[in-house]
Amino acid sequence: MPQRISPAGSISGCITLPGDKSISHRYAMLASIAEGDSRIRNYSTGADCHSTLNAMRALGVAIEEQGTEVAIHGCGLDGLRAPATDLDAGNSGSTIRMLSGILAAQRFDTRIGGDESLSRRPMARIIEPLSRMGASIAARDGRFPPLEIHGARLYPIDYPLPVPSAQVKTCVLFAGLYAEGETTVREPVRSRDHTEIALREFGADVRIAARTIALTGRPVLTGRDLTVPSDLSSAAFFIVAALLLPGSRLTIRGVGLNPTRSTLLDFLAGMGAAIRIAEVESRNGELAGELVVTSSPIHGGTIEKEITAALIDEIPVLAILGAASEQGLTIRDAGELRIKETDRIATVAENLRRMGVQVEELPDGLAIPGRQRFHAAELDSFGDHRIAMAFAVAALCADGESVIHGAEAASVSFPEFFETLRNSTTNASSAIDF
Ligand code: S3P
């Protein structure tokens, strides 16, 4: 369904956002292989995290949902059952990559695939370490979904990650849960550490020294009561809207502030953004707090090296901010963006051009001059949730009504996105009336 977006005056009030997608996946998988019951509050409403719940159900785990609260009756490390049919990861790279670590260690075979976009995403990055651990995995053309995973006895490895990927790190650590002895993962740059925190929360023995994570296999994981903080990557769309729309003052409650994710806030503050952080608390080892964002002039700058990896999911919406910034924004070292749900370098550049915004596509990034205006346009999500939401923010700043085709893609991580946006923005003409 296309969404029509009119220019907005400002964005204000107090909003709460769905639970963090990364944390929801990890809690659901670990609760399923823990002993006893877990209760997860504020579980992500996104379709991706429901792909994970449905895959766990197909593996024999009893799961009940009441609104955003999920009860999972864990069946222990060895309690999963062979699914009757293929597992469907939908659009979710996290589901297929992280769950494969668990599936590789089962006494049964599974086949797991997903939608057209997922079927184009590279899986060699998980097949390689899992094969070294003793798993046997067949893939389309040796590297794309669907995967046929022949469960086997796994052995621990010491694995230097060739790509900076929290999904691959998690896959290896989850497989390491089933291997007798110590599994070690060495990261080239520190990626989000929700897995390490969640593993400890469920009772696993995890040792972390700088960028090296070591896990002892065959732990007893125990069911837990958990609360998921709201998703900072979803908050990013609202933060950028509040920074760009003059007169905005937006409060976002209970947002995840894990330091391996909150580089976004440091980066924005460094570019002049007025963002106040308050009410910080720790829940299940994860930090969460309130953000108050006030519209601010943004200097612009460069995103490169390890900062690129830390901001990877936020780059589409930061590109919008960059075009409106004083000096523009250059993004480098972002080759990973080309293998996300879409080639996000290409899809961001295409939509920016449709809005009359000048942009240079680089092999590993984008160069976006500053002080540009957004013109109303027919835009496309290209089936990518973050592209749909990033360009909804751009459309709020445009000179007329824009249309986003394929806007329903937002439901992959944030089904309530357009409703929340509508309820918190004033339209441009009423803003002028003030
Ligand atoms: C995720 C890790 C990142 C990120 C994705 C979620 C995770 O992917 O882009 O949205 O939950 O571990 P990579 O592991 O491919 O970098």
Distance of CA 168 from the midpoint of ligand 1 (Å):
9
Distance of CA 166 from the midpoint of ligand 1 (Å):
6
Could you tell me the two tokens for 241? 């809207």
**Could you tell me which of 248, 236, 251 has the C-alpha nearest to residue 318?**
236
Distance of CA 428 from the midpoint of ligand 1 (Å):
36
Active site residue 313: yes
User: What ligand 1 atom has the least distance to the C-alpha of 26?
Assistant: 11
Q: Ligand 1: residues whose CB is within 6 Å?
A: 22, 94, 165-167, 170, 192, 312-313
**What are the beta bridge partners of residue 138?**
148
pLDDT in tens, the chain (434 residues): 899 999 999 999 999 999 999 999 999 999 999 999 999 999 999 999 999 999 999 999 999 999 999 999 999 999 999 999 999 999 999 999 999 999 999 999 999 999 999 999 999 999 999 999 999 999 999 999 999 999 999 999 999 999 999 999 999 999 999 999 999 999 999 999 999 999 999 999 999 999 999 999 999 999 999 999 999 999 999 999 999 999 999 999 999 999 999 999 999 999 999 999 999 999 999 999 999 999 999 999 999 999 999 999 999 999 999 999 999 999 999 999 999 999 999 999 999 999 999 999 999 999 999 999 999 999 999 999 999 999 999 999 999 999 999 999 999 999 999 999 999 999 875 433 32
Contact by Cβ (8 Å): 135, 104:
yes
Choice from 311, 312, 340, 413 to test ligand 1 binding pocket (greatest atom count within 8 A of CB): 312
User: What ligand 1 atom has the least distance to the C-alpha of 163?
Assistant: 16
**Residue nearest atom 4 in ligand 1 by C-alpha distance:** 313
User: What ligand 1 atom has the least distance to the C-alpha of 167?
Assistant: 14
pLDDT of the residue at 433: 31
Cα 142 to Cα 144: distance, rounded to the nearest angstrom: 6
Distance of CA 7 from the midpoint of ligand 1 (Å):
32
User: What ligand 1 atom has the least distance to the C-alpha of 339?
Assistant: 15
**Residue nearest atom 9 in ligand 1 by C-alpha distance:** 313
Distance of CA 78 from the midpoint of ligand 1 (Å):
27
User: What ligand 1 atom has the least distance to the C-alpha of 170?
Assistant: 12
Strand runs (DSSP E) across 164-314, as ranges? 182-186, 206-209, 212-216, 225-227, 249-256, 274-283, 286-294, 301-303
Choice from 29, 165, 308 to test ligand 1 binding pocket (greatest atom count within 8 A of CB): 165
- Cα 385 off chain centre by: 10
Distance of CA 401 from the midpoint of ligand 1 (Å):
33
Cα 38 to Cα 24: distance, rounded to the nearest angstrom: 13
Radius of gyration of the chain (CA): 21
Could you tell me the two tokens for 226? 């958990």
- Indicate the helix (H) or strand (E) that contains 16: strand 8-16
Cα 17 to Cα 12: distance, rounded to the nearest angstrom: 14
Active-site residue (options: 313, 333, 343, 380): 313
pLDDT of the residue at 429: 59
**Residue nearest atom 15 in ligand 1 by C-alpha distance:** 165
